[in-house]
């Protein structure tokens, strides 16, 4: 499966939802997650994310993010249509420690 990681938080560009063939993105207030049981591993979303927040779970040390994606994909609503990104998305790109500072 592919996994949404920290740089999505407060960037939330949503380009990813437009390309996913199985509509497996779920929306929280500040980020999206991928449902690991629905993702078919096609990889098309990875290069579409302007924040480079989407990674394959074959990359090391993604356990925390894989769990977070799995947990919240069950709680948050499905999203299939891109909307306007947050006004400060660019300023938030690359900010350190987003999980601790901004995740809710
Ligand atoms: Fe959707 Fe493919 Fe990305 Fe999985 S890898 S979330 S199926 S676009
Ligand atoms: Fe997040 Fe990138 Fe999608 S910032 S909402 S994973 S396009």
52-99 pLDDT, tens digit per residue, is 999 999 999 999 999 999 999 999 999 999 999 999 999 999 999 999
pTM of the model: 0.97
Taking alpha carbons only, the member of 22, 37, 14, 26 closest to residue 79 is 26
Q: Which residues contact 8 (CB under 8 A, 6 or more apart)?
A: 31, 32, 49, 51, 53, 54
Q: Walk me through the domains of the chain, giving residue ranges and CATH numbers.
A: 2-81 (3.30.70.20)
26, 43, 53: which to mutate for ligand 2, most atoms within 8 A of CB?
53
Residue 10: alpha-carbon gap to chain centroid: 11
Q: Rounded to an integer, what distance in angstroms lies between the CA atom of residue 85 and that of residue 68?
A: 22
Q: Give the distance, in angstroms, between the CA of residue 84 and the centroid of all CA atoms in the same chain.
A: 15
Residue nearest to atom 3 of ligand 1 (CA): 45
For a substitution probing ligand 1, which of 26, 34, 59, 80 has the most ligand atoms within 8 Å of its CB?
34
The predicted complex's ipTM stands at 0.98
């Amino acid at each position: 499966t592919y996994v949404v990681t920290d740089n999505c938080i407060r960037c939330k560009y949503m380009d990813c939802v437009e390309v996913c063939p199985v509509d497996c993105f779920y929306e929280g207030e500040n980020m999206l997650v991928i449902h690991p049981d629905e993702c078919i591993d096609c990889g098309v979303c990875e290069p579409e994310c302007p924040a480079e927040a989407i990674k394959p779970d074959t990359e090391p040390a993604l356990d925390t993010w894989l769990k977070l994606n799995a947990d919240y994909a069950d709680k948050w609503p499905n999203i299939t249509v891109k909307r306007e990104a947050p006004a400060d998305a660019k300023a938030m790109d690359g900010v350190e420690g987003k999980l601790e500072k901004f995740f809710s």
